Amino acid sequence: MRIRPRQQLLDLWHSLLDYCYPEGTWVWGGRDGSNSISDAEQLLCLLYPATSLDTFRLDRPDDIAPDVANVLASFGSDTRIGSVLVNLIEEYLARYSGPDDEPNFAMGSYLRDAGDHTPTDNERSVEIVDSYSMSLSLCIAALRFLKGYEQSMSGLLRDEAKIQFENRMSTLQRQVGARLTAAMTGLVRSFVIHTTEPESAAGQAILHMVNQSGVPNAEIVRSLSARLEQLRVRAANEVRLAQTEVFDIANDRRLFECGWGWGVVRNAASLTDIAGGHVASDNGHAEPRPYLYFTMVALDGIIDLSSQRIRELDLLDATQRQLADALQLRMELAQTYWSTVARFVNERWPLEDIPWRTSDGEESDYFSLVVTAILIQDQVTRDSTDDLERTVGVLDQLARRGRIISRPTVDDQAARLHYPGVRLRLAGSEDIDSGPQLSWYVPDFATLLLKRTVQAARVAVDVSVRDQLMALAEATMDHIDQRAIQEGPATGLWDDSGPVLGLPSPLPTDRPSWFLTERVMECLVGAYDTFRRPPPAPQPMINRAQDLLREADDLLNRERLEVSEDDQSAKRTELDRIEQSLDRARRLWRQRPGTTFSLAVRALEQLDELANAREDAIR
């Protein structure tokens, strides 16, 4: 199906309000209950488009688009919409703040039962990177909205009402800022650089992936160390905040990997020196080893934080800017590391050896997709198209293996990538209550594939590559659209994957999965951003447009010889009109050669008519 991001986002909002706001009161929670992550995802379904896309803005009542206002009519009038959103932000902060107003980032109901073990309240209360990252995105969106809403409403209020409103906004922004600082701190303390000997089990797993040429492992270690030398030096010299064991990275005889653990790692140092005050010192539980999924999740949040618009709006205070710089450094290190390892050799990339095996010995097609996602994210960040064509080949293969563009078989194991999802063992969680090791399930294979495909299309300059990406994106969107809930109170939301994937036990469809619905929303916002950028232009069309422009210019100059500067005839008016058209074509020839081609052809036809008329007059 054709992706129509504007209409599909409006449809999503319509379904969202039908489910969450049926009787004028917001209903929190979905299929997986209510927790700090799910409720943030639920609220982001509204706030993220409203603060990322100008046509969906809700902070200026006078500028709300008519179709947007119509979809949100259950909130009330245009001036009422912003007030409802302010109430929702306040509700969320109240739900996930402790008695001392400390922000809470607990796993909560997203932590599923493991076999015969039901997680204890203490285990569910442990914080996780998913919550840090989702709260970071939520807080940034909330601050964007609150700043704009305060500016637009302050001029409409008078006297006591204005003072009360400004005090409320000030308090709320301070609370959002406190949660943002805590989320950023959690992400800094969850970053890890894990070094290992090549002979260890982890080292052998890393070498299994990067050694695609069958040469001795010692040679691979030397070559990989040389490729990552600059990253080693930068990490050893610059990574200091909340990290106690990074200096071993300077040993080029050891292998290493970097990224984010599932939560605050055991060796994370306390942060007490930022802005001269205590920030965080709670001990972590996570084993100091990066997880691919949590690395990607952290990177998504940090990219929201590091956008140019955040800097321009001056949303961050001094403490947050220092934390943002620390996270930016870690983002660059992680992207560079995984992008380098994924393409380590030219003959056959490790990324092309599907499925990817992690350093703890786990392997899955999903891990290959996550590494591909980080590689594409790195290319988008650097606006690079290096090796994009080979990356498209990996995406296409993963789409087939994940039954996105191929038919699932009976009892197909690939269907379990989508539900219950890939199981991640949270190493270190067994120490929380001296119980079994906990697990985290990730069911976002389809939405991750779609999100990275439309992102890759954004930077593609080769027309054939972009066409491949758009065809894959549309096929993936078709798969996702078939999984939308078709009846009941959650109609139009996600996820009903049983009929599409032939899963033996269909999911309940009376409540939505905010995990999947929020990620579909991200895909549509990403598609909107991709579609509003000019598509790549094929060089042959650019050359042909230039040739036509050159011929039209020559003919125009020739016709100009037949009229004087003070001529007021219809011919002079027509020549001026043709000249304006060619001037526009000249401005567009690089971005829109097809339009330039069309304008030049029309100018040539008009010039030929003038020349033919002149010749008839002479005869």
pLDDT in tens, 123-147: 999 999 999 999 999 999 999 999 9
Report field, pTM of the whole predicted structure over 0.95 = no
pLDDT for 498 equals 80
Q: Where are the domains of the chain?
A: 191-300+315-351, 539-618
Decide if pLDDT at 489 tops 90: yes
169 pLDDT band, cuts 50/70/90, is: very high
The answer to whether 115 and 439 have CB atoms below 8 angstroms apart is no
**Residue 301 CA, distance from chain mean position:** 8
5 pLDDT band, cuts 50/70/90, is: very high
Q: Each residue of 498-553: pLDDT tens digit?
A: 888 877 666 778 999 999 999 999 999 999 999 988 777 777 878 888 888 889 88
Q: Which helix (H) or strand (E) holds 196?
A: strand 191-196
Rounded Cα distance, 331 and 2, in Å: 33
Q: Please state the rounded mean pLDDT for residues 89-95.
A: 97
369 versus 574: the higher-pLDDT residue is: 369
pLDDT for 245 equals 54
Q: Each residue of 242-260: pLDDT tens digit?
A: 555 555 787 888 999 999 9
Of 89-98, 211-220, 289-298, the poorest mean pLDDT is in: 211-220
246-254 — which CB contacts under 8 Å span 24+ positions?
A: 246/193, 248/195, 249/193, 249/195, 251/195, 252/222, 252/225, 253/198, 253/221, 253/225, 254/195, 254/196, 254/197, 254/198
Q: Is 23 helix (H, G, I), strand (E, B) or coil?
A: coil
100 pLDDT band, cuts 50/70/90, is: confident
| Nearest CA-CA partner of 134 in 108, 156, 160 | 108
Rounded Cα distance, 366 and 496, in Å: 20
